[in-house]
Amino acid sequence: MKNHYKILGVTPGSSQAEIKKAYKLLAVKHHPDKNNGDRHSEERFKEIAEAYHILYDEERREAYDFEKKYNRQKVGSQDITSTTFLNLIRRIKDRIFHAGGHIDENALFKLLNEILSDKNIELMIKSEDLATNSLIMDETIVSSIFLSDSHKAIIYNKLTKLADNNPWFLEKIPTIEGDATAHTFNTPGKNVETPYAALAVFFILLGICIFLIVVV
């Protein structure tokens, strides 16, 4: 992945105002009209515009920083939130369904597994942003349709941690047939299993339909 900070000549600690200023200076310098249509300047101008597109938008910048493992403290704002992880997982899902069927299953698992680390899950739970956390679970389940059952089991167990004993959240998580670690939760007076195989089939069929639309 390109280093958008390096392209603009700024750092992960730079403010949005500094990023905007750097972009304006570089855009004028490398604009094709200022360089007689020079091909190199045109390519450089495109890189500058792309970098600015990612870094000047706070949500896209958060996702990019997380992906590049930049521990940036946002200027005049809060630290990374559940929305950061939601945006990142949505980007992963978008890449999956625009990959033309070429999915690196191990790379996909590694990304989802890293996003759903114990530390990040703890942050999501502490945020008490139930609406966003619910969307994170939905997007993760859809993104997991190309994973092997063993990898799905790991991701689903992480989602069980994120559910934090919320029955409504637990109901979202598909159960893998034959998986001894399948989640259960208690209701007064009895133990209730939550297989929800139909939900799993729904997401799989949804993913296949989207995949076929993209490919065909």
Mean pLDDT of the 118-125 span: 91
Left, alpha or beta for 108 (phi > 0: left; psi -120 to 50: alpha)?
alpha
Residue 162 pLDDT greater than 90, yes or no = yes
The reported pLDDT for the residue numbered 11 is 86
Mean pLDDT of the 123-152 span: 91
Mean pLDDT of the 100-105 span: 77
b/e per residue 174-211 (b: at least 16 CB within 10 A): bbbeeeeebbebeeeeeeeebebeebbeebbeebeebb
The reported pLDDT for the residue numbered 76 is 39
Q: How confident is the model at residue 64 (pLDDT cuts 50, 70, 90)?
A: confident
Whole-angstrom CA distances from 139 to 50, 100, 199 are 26, 19, 14
Whole-angstrom CA distances from 210 to 89, 91, 96, 119, 148 are 17, 15, 10, 32, 19
Q: How many CA atoms lie within 13 A of 92 on its CB side?
A: 29
Structural domains in the chain, CATH included, are 4-58 (1.10.287.110), 82-215 (no CATH)
